[in-house]
Structure 1
Amino acid sequence: MSERVVQPVRVLMVGAGGVGDAAARIAVERDFFEAWVVADYDLQRAERTVTAARERRAGEERFTAAQVDASDAAAVTALARQVRATHVLNAVDPRFVMPVFSGALDAGADYLDMAMSLSERHSEAPYEKVGVKLGDLQFALAGEWEAAGRLALLGIGVEPGLSDVFARYAADELFDHIDELGTRDGANLVIRDDDGNEVFAPGFSMWTIIEECLNPPVVWERQRGDGDLEAGFFTLPPFSEPEVFDFPEGIGPVECVHVEHEEVLLMPRWIEADRVTFKYGLGEEMIAILRTLHTLGLDSTEPVSVKGVEVSPRDVVAACLPDPATIGPRMEGKTCAGLWVTGAGKDGRPRSTYLYHVVDNADSMRDYGTQCVVWQTALNPVVALELLARGTWSGTGVLGPEALPPKPFLDLLAAPRPEGYGSPWGIEDRPPHDPGKDRA
């Protein structure tokens, strides 16, 4: 391999769930780091991830396990200092973003995450106005990260993450003017029980799915802001503006709806566009389940007393479903993450282009023993860490992927192994499209 490392990299990864486990299995094939510490509240789970990573490469000794409480910033700081971490990779769910984020800063380490700090809906007009937005708590501390000379790279999973890299690439290479940056996510995944019957089992954290899909989705429009970035954000009711989007590589048409997501909060900060949206192919069954959970109050994170025990209803729902890390052998199909960009191309003519990344579950299970949804998410922070180790990517403060050059990332992602990660991305031009028609 030819990573051309310019600084020794020591990674503290907080979280050994599905995404963290997949990240370790991907990273072990690379040479850009000298140590990778897998930390989890459950030490045995961290140890299982370390074992799985080590088994993928003969003589592997860079991976070790540790115990940490991700809700305790001081504990994250202490562990980061103890293991001499240069980078803290946050692989836990969004509830723990702020303590891990703060813990990394206090330890003098750079930071990467795949989801940003949680939002709080507007108290009086939740389906019109934004309250506390995704990432607001992190961007409020940008000055402290800049003063420390450290980098916090937010949203570097697949969505957000690769979708944001696509946005920068489209702006730099493909478009002269962008009408809409529209992240579109869809799949044709099926999970079956032991008898071959299709069952309900989300491929990602149900806690996070509830958070994203029942919160008011955010949209950004330039014309609302009149030059003021913050004034361009507004909200809609959940599941608004359904549209049927045709996904590539055999997935086909899937109905997509607005969902709260980080891309909408990141892209307008660095990319010129008239409108930014995120729509997700949830499907009728998932939407019905989410609506029922909300009606029954089972989406709440506020503890309730059950026979004298305080429990969060949402935690109970998540605990009743299969661990996403375990459903790979029963999953069939493909997942697609991508960005639909409309506007005027470099030649000034109308252009409509979908940039995308598809993963077949059969491939990720065969090559990594990991189901495709978590594998696709985990791949991108490992690529980003390698670019930071090379010095190809650099910066200080709180940044999104849009702030960094896209071509090195996309080239490294697609290049065959062992030079690259052997995971090609695609680009598909479509008939010119008027985004306004979907909202007429």
Structure 2
Amino acid sequence: MRMMLVGAGAVGESILKVMKWRDPKGEWLEYVLVCDFDQNRAQEVVEKLGKDCRFEAAEVNATDKEAMMRLALMHQIDFLMDAAPPFASNYIFDAAYETGINYGNMGTWSVPMDHPAYGLGIENSYTEPMTKYNFDRHEAWKEKGSMAVICMGIDPGVVNVFAKYAATELLDEITEVHVKDGGNLSVPGADPDDIMFGFNVWTVLDEVMNPNVEYDASRGGLLVEKPFAGREVWEMPDGVGQNTLVKVEHEEVVTMPRYLKQYGLQRATFKISLDENLITALKVVDKLGLRSIHPIQIGETEVIPRDVVAACAPQPKDIGDEMIGEMLVGVECIGKKDGKEKAYFLYQAFDNQESMKKWGSQAVVAQTGFGAALAIELIARGIWKDRGVFSPEYFDPLPYLNLMDESGYEYHIAEIK
């Protein structure tokens, strides 16, 4: 594989570290062009990878399709990995398509209406619903002979594989899947008023503050509600403890019905644990109009409010090893086996201090990067292959789980009594 990575942020760096570790001799990873809007950042990541001539840095604007295409052709790229902020994903996706190369990402772009209708029908609350841009182009990619795999992180990503495994191996019929993203991360002695963004600030503003979405076949399909709906308390395993979760907009509620409906799926939700300080901050940002993507004029300068927030907010890459605890991401799968009701929780946990020690990245970042790196490996080795646009549930889950076992990306399956 000759890969071009667009977006050398914390997760992009994490992906490359895992890939280099998995293939130190270049048996399937021949070359990587590490691209970022900031040339210095791309070079910094390359230098962190040590003296390995497979990695080279370049500058590129992730919204400049033609520039990405030129780089891809110049360096004979055959796989384009999108690790940029979500607003750039469609440009990168199109650059891969027009160049005729394969593509991967960890999430998709969506645009809510200024005045969402809420209720039944995602199209009534979003001008561009998540994954639609990609899946609408499935036939075009198929005809082109190229493959795009979207949603390849931890969630979406690993949890999608878990759900497919539950549907095909653990249950005769799967009726519900509920993704739960939480943990018990904390910084001892931190100011109680501190605000922590565990992930890309743009992504947090999108996922959390966008109208949330769930899938319920009995109520007609995709249902849209206001942010922070569906609050529940969930006991995370392995001593992680109680998490208060809320629903957010997330791709799993669209991709899982697409591929798991044939196994009986009737309902899908995604919920995340959010710190109360972050919830309060996000509500204030929203009410002040600071999450807007529409430019405003300040004197002689035009700025996008969300860009200002993203630039000023604490950055995930700057959170160090002072943070303790674990990230724990899993999916509750409910259905029937041998005529009896069964429920399982399949999950992956990542300890922050171990992550900092081994990968130099905080747990949220490394967990996501690891999930994406294993999916890319399956593509590079020709195990995940087809023509068109897919998400991980499309593929046989066993090769991915085998890689998790082999690499020590530990996961657990717990039966819920």
- TM-score, normalising length: structure 2: 0.94
Mapped pair 1:93 → 2:85 = yes
Mapped pair 1:249 → 2:241 = no
Identity among equivalent pairs (%): 36
1:398 alignment counterpart: 389
SS at match of 2:87: helix
Q: Structure 1 130/281 Cα, relative in aligned 2: closer, same or farther at 3 Å? A: same
Q: Structure 1 41/28 Cα, relative in aligned 2: closer, same or farther at 3 Å? A: same
Mapped pair 1:360 → 2:351 = yes
Mapped pair 1:377 → 2:368 = yes
Please list the CA deviations of residues 198-246 of structure 1 after superposition, one character each: whole Å capped at 9, or x if unmatched. 5322111122111111111111122244xxxxxx112112111211011
Mapped pair 1:220 → 2:215 = yes
Q: Contact (CA 8 Å) 1:139, 1:398: kept in 2 or not?
A: yes
SS at match of 1:363: helix
SS at match of 2:180: strand
1:311 alignment counterpart: 303
SS at match of 1:185: strand
Match of 2:253 among 261, 264, 277: 264
Q: Contact (CA 8 Å) 2:19, 2:377: kept in 1 or not?
A: no
2:107 alignment counterpart: 115
1:428 alignment counterpart: 414
1:75 alignment counterpart: 67
SS at match of 1:146: helix
Alignment of 1:199-214 (within 5 A): 199-214=194-209
Q: Structure 1 140/349 Cα, relative in aligned 2: closer, same or farther at 3 Å? A: same
Q: Contact (CA 8 Å) 1:254, 1:283: kept in 2 or not?
A: no
- Cα distance in 1 for partners of 2:119, 2:289 equals 19
- Cα distance in 2 for partners of 1:97, 1:218 equals 20
Please list the CA deviations of residues 394-434 of structure 1 after superposition, one character each: whole Å capped at 9, or x if unmatched. 1110101000010110110122xxxxx21111111112xxx
Please, which moves more after superposition, 202-211 or 157-166? 202-211
Q: Provide the alpha-carbon RMSD of the alignment.
A: 1.5
SS at match of 2:76: coil
Mapped pair 1:136 → 2:146 = no
- Cα distance in 2 for partners of 1:180, 1:71 equals 37
Q: Contact (CA 8 Å) 2:36, 2:61: kept in 1 or not?
A: yes
Q: Contact (CA 8 Å) 2:104, 2:152: kept in 1 or not?
A: yes
1:328 alignment counterpart: 320
- Cα distance in 1 for partners of 2:308, 2:38 equals 18
- Cα distance in 1 for partners of 2:275, 2:163 equals 26
1:6 alignment counterpart: none
Q: Structure 1 124/47 Cα, relative in aligned 2: closer, same or farther at 3 Å? A: closer
Q: Contact (CA 8 Å) 1:354, 1:429: kept in 2 or not?
A: yes
Q: Contact (CA 8 Å) 1:122, 1:129: kept in 2 or not?
A: no
2:228 alignment counterpart: 239
- TM-score, normalising length: structure 1: 0.89
Deviation at 1:123, TM superposition (A): 5.2
2:167 alignment counterpart: 171
Deviation at 1:390, TM superposition (A): 2.0
Deviation at 1:196, TM superposition (A): 4.8
Q: Contact (CA 8 Å) 2:112, 2:211: kept in 1 or not?
A: no
Deviation at 1:188, TM superposition (A): 1.1
- Cα distance in 2 for partners of 1:221, 1:313 equals 35
Q: Which amino acid aligns with 1:335?
A: M
Deviation at 1:128, TM superposition (A): 4.3
Q: Structure 1 359/330 Cα, relative in aligned 2: closer, same or farther at 3 Å? A: same
Deviation at 1:141, TM superposition (A): 1.3
Q: Which amino acid aligns with 1:278?
A: F
1:33 alignment counterpart: 29
Q: Identify unmatched segments of 5+ residues in structure 2.
A: none
- Cα distance in 1 for partners of 2:294, 2:68 equals 25
Q: Contact (CA 8 Å) 1:185, 1:338: kept in 2 or not?
A: yes
SS at match of 1:271: helix
Q: Contact (CA 8 Å) 2:197, 2:316: kept in 1 or not?
A: yes
Deviation at 1:284, TM superposition (A): 2.3
- Cα distance in 2 for partners of 1:371, 1:68 equals 26
- Cα distance in 2 for partners of 1:127, 1:93 equals 28
Match of 1:148 among 121, 144, 147: 144
Q: Identify unmatched segments of 5+ residues in structure 1.
A: 1-8, 226-231, 416-420, 432-440
Q: Contact (CA 8 Å) 2:68, 2:92: kept in 1 or not?
A: yes
Q: Contact (CA 8 Å) 1:170, 1:341: kept in 2 or not?
A: yes
Deviation at 1:124, TM superposition (A): 5.7
Q: Which amino acid aligns with 1:426?
A: H
SS at match of 1:28: helix
Q: Contact (CA 8 Å) 1:127, 1:237: kept in 2 or not?
A: no
Deviation at 1:250, TM superposition (A): 2.0
Mapped pair 1:281 → 2:273 = yes
Q: Contact (CA 8 Å) 2:147, 2:387: kept in 1 or not?
A: yes
Equivalent residue pairs, number: 405
Q: Structure 1 181/121 Cα, relative in aligned 2: closer, same or farther at 3 Å? A: farther
1:228 alignment counterpart: none
- Cα distance in 2 for partners of 1:181, 1:215 equals 21
Alignment of 1:11-26 (within 5 A): 11-26=3-18
Deviation at 1:121, TM superposition (A): 3.5
SS at match of 1:38: strand
Q: Which amino acid aligns with 1:425?
A: Y
Please list the CA deviations of residues 24-51 of structure 1 after superposition, one character each: whole Å capped at 9, or x if unmatched. 1111113221001100011110000001
SS at match of 1:159: coil
- Cα distance in 2 for partners of 1:250, 1:88 equals 39
